[in-house]
Structure formats: C-alpha cells, structure tokens
Structure 1
Amino acid sequence: MELTVLKNNIVKLKSEEVYKSLEKWSFLNKKEIKELQDDIRSKSKMSKRTLAVEIAAVCNDKDGLTMDKVGELELICLQMHSTKRQWSAYHLSEKQGSASVTDSIKSPSKLRLQLIKQIKNYFHKGCSVSVVLHEGLLWGRLYLPLPKKKSYQPTRCLYFIYYPHSPIIILSGMKVGFAEYISQCFVVAFGYKELTELSLTGHHYPSLAELAMDKFSEGGYTKYQQTHRLGGPLSDITYRKRKAPAMFEHENIIDTNRGEKRRRLEILDENFSENVQPTLEKLEYRVELPYRCKEVAPDLKNDGNLFHSRVRFRGASVLEGLRNLAAASYATVPLPKHLTCVPSRARNTFLLGKQPKTVTSSQNETQNQSRQK
C-alpha cells in the first residue's frame, strides 16, 4: 500500500519537482538521490509512471517505509499544488489546554503523537497520521481507512493546515460520517473545547486564512498582521497594495466624469480597502423568505410558504471582480451590504431568511397573566 501511495504522488508532480520533493522528504539521502538521478538519466527517456516505479523500487529497498513516512511525501506534494484541493476554514474556540498541550502544537512530532492518541479512541489501528512543518505552518494528513479493506482508499484522507498561535485551522476532505469524531480529536489535541465550520470555502487556502484571521483578531492585531508578518507563517497572506488606476489625460480633452470616477474609487476603497482582495472562487446567497410582491402574484402573498432562491457568483476572484465591475461603472456604488460585508463576515455562503421572533420579558409577563385569567 505504501508503494501505491508513493507512486501516485510522484506521478502528480512535474518532472522538475520530483527530485526537489525527494530532497525535502529526506527519506533518501543526497547520495542515494544523486545515484538514482544518474541511473535514470543513463536510460532512454521514460514516462512519469516508469519513473515512479523506479523511485518506489529504491525506497522499497530501505527500511522504515511506512504509511506515516509516505504521508509526509504526500504533504510535500500538496504544498506545491494546494490549489487542486477544496479547503474549508474552521474556528477553534474556548481554549482550555495546559502548557504541555500548547507546547505540543508547536512541534510536528509532538502534535502527531497527540493526534494518534486521540484517533485510537475512535478508529481502528490501521489509521495513519503524518505532520510536517512548512514555512511556519503545520501541515497534516490523516488516513482513516475502512476496516477489512487492504487496498488504498484515497477518499479516506483528511488534510489540515494549522496556523500556530491562532484559533484557525484549514481542512480538506472532512466527511460527514466521521466529522464528529475528527472534531473531537482536534479540539483535544489542540487544547480547545469546540471546532466550528465558518462556511468559508475555496481552493486558495491563504485567502481563507486571511479572512478568518481578520474576523477573529482583536484590537490592533489586524493592523500588526498587515505590517509585520513578512517572513513568518502568515507571510503568504500578506496584503498587496493595489496599483492606482491610470487616468487618461490630454490637453485638448476634458474628462467631465473625472470627479465621479474619483468618488467611486474612494467609496470602493472604503468598502473593500485599497488592497488586492482575497481570492474566493465562489459567493453563494440562498433566499428563504415569504413572497411579498402582491402586484406581480397576489395569490402568493401571505400564503404561508417560503420563496426559495439561490444566486451564485463564480470566477477566478469574485471579490476582486465585483470591485472592478463597480470601478468600471458596471455596478452602482455603494454596493449592497451583503456584497461588501464578505471580508468582515469571513464566509462566502449566506442564508437570507426570516428572523425568528424574539419574545421580551414584558411580553412573557403579559402572556402569563392572560393565561391565568
């Protein structure tokens, strides 16, 4: 099974990435990688699959090739192609861990042992846990195979990216069937009480982390992140300043809308900031409200049924696209609040529904008195 996983990951890499990944993996030393590279070069041009078989044969001759070790190679490959997976942001709340637990989440080996200890309480002994440190972030892979199945089950893999000293964790591959047990494993291993999904998904995990960090930052910490996180674990989500739009100028041409354009850009900077927006490929709004337009369909008004509708925005970067449309006068500014509030809400799925009625204490007393009468 280990060789199958190893070959599957080698095949996914580009040719120039294969040997770099093997060096980062450190299962083979530099001398072994050099000999392997020279041996492959001496042969005629081979396919990626044949190259993977050659590498697997060399690794198989060494001791210590376990599923945990192969999982580390898979995490290295994932770091190079993280946008190929769908990620979801989660929030860890109500910290309660001791000093020993806090220390464990700084070390890949200690965190791995913590997770193994918790996973054994819910899953059988065939599970595998791999954790590596990459650019200040803890990347992890949990393999949770079904019992009595000897073949490799890629759909039973769960990946996570944890930002140390923060309550944010990014997951990919969470299944409904074991979500409750995995959540319990994470909260105990990281020293928290609850793991909550943020309804924030996408392929660009740094943008998800940026939005989630800004939501749960306190006081001036958000400003500190913007100016001082270069070189740290948050360096890959540093804000990029937007270039000022070029204004067309000519001595014989007067732009009568120049003031309007400046006002439009000022409003957009106030709503979205001057920075390039986080990358979200999707925005979704679901509407579940009573039908209220009696002029169009009077029979549907106040009939007790809810009107269901769904609107989706899709693109390479939806927030940036919306801002550019408004800047080019294709949308009215200021934009609706349900579009401009996305960064502050840290979510890209919204439900517009009827608010439940709240009963005040005075109303409760009135109801109780009427019942007594």
Structure 2
Amino acid sequence: MQKKALLRKQFKKLKVDGILITDPINVRYLTGFTGSSGFVIISEKHAIFVTDFRYQEQAEQEVKGFKIKIEHTERTREIKNICDVYGIRKPGFEDHHVTYGLYRELIKRKLKLRPVTNVIESLRIVKSAKELSCIKRAVKRAEAAFRKLQPFIRTGTTERKLALKFEELLKLEGCKTLPFGVIVASGEMSALPHAKPTDRKLKKGDLVVFDWGGEYEGYCSDMTRTMLLKGRNISRQKELYYNVLEARKRAVNSVKSGIEASVIDAAARDYIKQQGYGDYFGHGTGHGVGLAVHEKPVVSWRNKELIKENMVFTVEPGIYLPGFGGVRIEDMVAVRKNRAELLTSLPKKLKIIEG
C-alpha cells in the first residue's frame, strides 16, 4: 500500500481531515525531495508538495505523485489557502516540529489544528526492500572507510587527527553527508559514550572507541568498534571487551519478530549485571536507523513495543568505567521472522594494535 494511503487510513483515528508535514526527514520519506525547504499537505483525496522558487526544478525532478506548488506568499497564509482550496478544516500537524510561533500564526488564521505524534515515524519504522538496500550500501561505505583507517591508528597520534582522517575517508567512499561527527575516544575518554575527539595522544594500553556512520541516498548506518593499543597491563581492558562482546552476542541472538524491544535489551543488560558491571551500562541497547541515524524503535528496558519484521536497529551494549576507559561494540541488524540478519561485517574479535 502506498505511503499516502497508509497515512490516510489513520485520519479517522486521529480525528483529522488532512495533515501538514513539515519535518524535513518526513517530507523526504513521503516525497523523495532532498532540498532544504518544503512542506506537504495531504487531504482525503489530494497531496500537495510546497516549496519556494529556488527548488522548483529540483522538485519537478524528484517529487512524484504530488501536486507541486511554489510559495508566492507568507507561509502561514499559503498553508491556510491550501486548506481552504482542498476543504481541510481540521488539519493535523507534527507537534514535535512545528514551532510555537508557527502554531500561533496558524491559529490566528482560524485553522483548527490537531497535534499528531509519530504518525510518519510509525510508517518509517518498517523498512522496504529498497530502503534496506540503501542502508546496506551505507554500511558498506562506512566499513570500507574504517578498514582504510587502520594504518593511521598508532600511539602518538591524536584523537582529533584520527577523526579528521576518518571523515575524509568516509567522504572519499561516497558519503555526501555524515550522520554525526565521528567519535574517536581513547584511554579515560573512552568512558564517555558520546565523547568528542580531543588533542589527547593515543598511549600504550589505551582502549580506543570508534563510533561512526555512513550514508547512501540519505539513508544512514551506525557502528562502533573498540580497539586496544598493546601495553604491559591490559588484562582488565580485555576482560571488559569480552564481557561486552558476549552481551552483544546474546542480544543479537535474542532478536526475532513478535518480542518486546525490552527483551533484547535485557539479554545484554542481564549478562553485564552478572559480570558485576551493571552500574556502568547506562544507555539503551540500541535504536532504529534509517533516514535518521536515531529513530524508532528504541531498544531499551523501558520500551514494550513489539519488534516487527524488516525493522532495522543497532545493538550496542557497553561498559564505561570513569577514569579508566570504556568499551562499546555496535552492529546493525535487520529483523527476520525468527532471527536477526547482521548487516555489519567488521570483525568482532579484539584487535590489539602494536606500536
């Protein structure tokens, strides 16, 4: 069923007779438009894509199945005019994206707005074959760049230099944009799950966490690997690594359609607790990946949402010891009926780097 038809099926439940889509990612999902200025209005029988004159030619090339309209007046007036022309009296709007200022101006124009939450996101959560193909291409680009980074990982170089080189390699692999800034975190900095690269030099015995993503046709990938620089006393670093690796394995093996997301989280979390590190794993086990690098489903102890076939998400347990260092291993999976299809292929065995 077409995306627009699936959306219209929800109108009655949402108590709307049309919907205004302004989130750029959701606009792209519905229309294929890759520009930075545009919105969508869908009624029971019509679908209108609106942009400004700068993107007219681009819209004509990219947007199919929508009436394309070029803005000729102030945006709230344009929205009101379209609603009047197509008989929309109770438009839904994306409450996570419309600003209070825009909402107030639309109310002034006598529109009976109704907030809707996660309507498009609920469609995006299950991937089509085409979307999955794009995600796999994004994974390949990211993995190729990481393999080419290996010769540059050595003692004496800085996190910042490695991150800059890594971003260069990702772009050379064809990534037009990066889903987020590359994370390179070494030594005690690796205990920060979202550390930013610094001028800290890599030292012997350091755990080094690399967290990065690739892109293909707007779709993202996201993965993490942890390496170890050879040193004299590295037994605890190894212990942390193999505990996280086992937690990751248990979580991946638990994936199948029909279970709650929290079951996958528990598979990793319970093992880490058993090893005595439960207090040092504070984030969820994973998150969805698609047009956004962080999207539904959330794989955490809080989420009782049922996992469905063709969802795509990360599995990324970690242990983070303040003042010492941390380990995270992150892979991407696609859900099949009774198993997880592993999308990432980089080795999981601990790599100990000489020199």
Fold similarity call, TM over 0.5? no
Larger relative helix fraction: 1
TM-score (norm 1): 0.26
TM-score by length of 2: 0.27
Which structure would you say has the larger Rg?
Answer: 1
Higher strand share: 2
